[in-house]
Structure 1
Amino acid sequence: MSLTMKQRVKVNAALATIHAHGLDPFAVHQRAVALRQIHEPRRAFEIALNEFAAQHPDVGVVVGNITRIVEAAPANDLVRYDHALNVYRDTGDDAAIDAIAESVLAAEIDLAVQAGELSAADAQAAKMDAARELAERGAPLSEGAKAALSREGFDFPEAQAPAQQAQPAAMRPENLYASQTSSPGVPVTGIIAPGAQARIDRDRASDYSAQGPHGSAAQSQPQAFGFASAAPATGI
């Protein structure tokens, strides 16, 4: 039995989040592959991701939140997330993730309201802060968000030429692709995006202030996805 699209999106989003925090999604992926000897794919990835969350609780909270966002996503958003993650996995093109960032952040904030972690007023302020941050880095925004920022007098940065899209790297043992299989007809989902490591190395200088005892990075500023009070348990 292979993963459903929603399960695949959850796994790809979780592994991409682990990668974005400077940790190793390959180890999680390999653990899931080993667990598939005794569990169906969904359960294997669920166990592997929850083991990761127990070892890295701060990032585990983020992973748990992103899987809940995917679980609550309407069908049209789910298709968009699947496409964006597949493009990012295959090319390392940040624009694919930027294209869904506003939707994902808005969903995260809405879930926080439902959980009683944010008031409606705070949620609106959080969405404006998220829109402002996305606009500052040149990510695409909805017309509504642009209009709201314009009313605040936000000075939009000049449009920049799009970065050249990275070409998919040749298949190598150190790279993971969704096309890999551990048994006939059962795809293995993994994400280490060719070309993405340069972005991670660049971002570490500003987003991470210190290295933990196991090489994990301590965050100096909030990352996308994840309110600290959310439980780290991950359901696939």
Structure 2
Amino acid sequence: MRVHLASITHRHGTSQYAGSSREELIEKLGVYCRENDENKLLDHAVSDEEIVSRYFSEENYGSNEYVDFADDEEITVDVSTMVRMFAALGNPGMAEGSVDLHDAIAKATLLSEPMIDYEGAARAQGWQLLDIAGGGQTFLRESQVGGDTQMDRCAPDWSSLCGNHDIGTDDFEQQPTGFFAISQGLADCLPLEERVVRDLAGMIIWARAGETVRGLAR
């Protein structure tokens, strides 16, 4: 699997994004641009490619924010067969073998547990992650018919947001569909909610659900 990478430099620092294709990467950057167009300078109906180009132009937000695309794609190695083999050995405390084998079984079992897409569940309910004046970020849900606009500045991540607002996640639970060996550099870019296990058979393993790579959280 090839992972396409980009970074956005903004007033809060640097954010990393990834996609399994350039098109998906641009789609994720398009979400960033639409959510952070606080001065309403852009036509949100244009394509993702166009809105990314316009957002980072000098006449819009380009003097304060800019995007860099990695020169080289990050290449990951599919190690799904190995992970599933270790997980199939069962309870690490019951398996015969060395301490290293028990450790590999435990890590493979952890990787194989169902994954919950907290961000997807929250976005389905209308929540967004926005920059706020004076620094920092907040989760925001625009007012619905007969309701009030909701804001949550306390939740540190999408998982906590779902817990704070009783957002159901049953429809957003998936079994991992693949396991990939990745570089230290890519592992350092991944947000905390991504499932990564280090030092399984000497490799850093990333568990993925679905066919695509989700945009990296800010």
Q: Which has the higher helix share?
A: 1
TM range (shorter): under 0.3
Question: Normalised by the size of structure 1, how large is the TM-score?
Answer: 0.26
Question: Normalised by the size of structure 2, how large is the TM-score?
Answer: 0.27
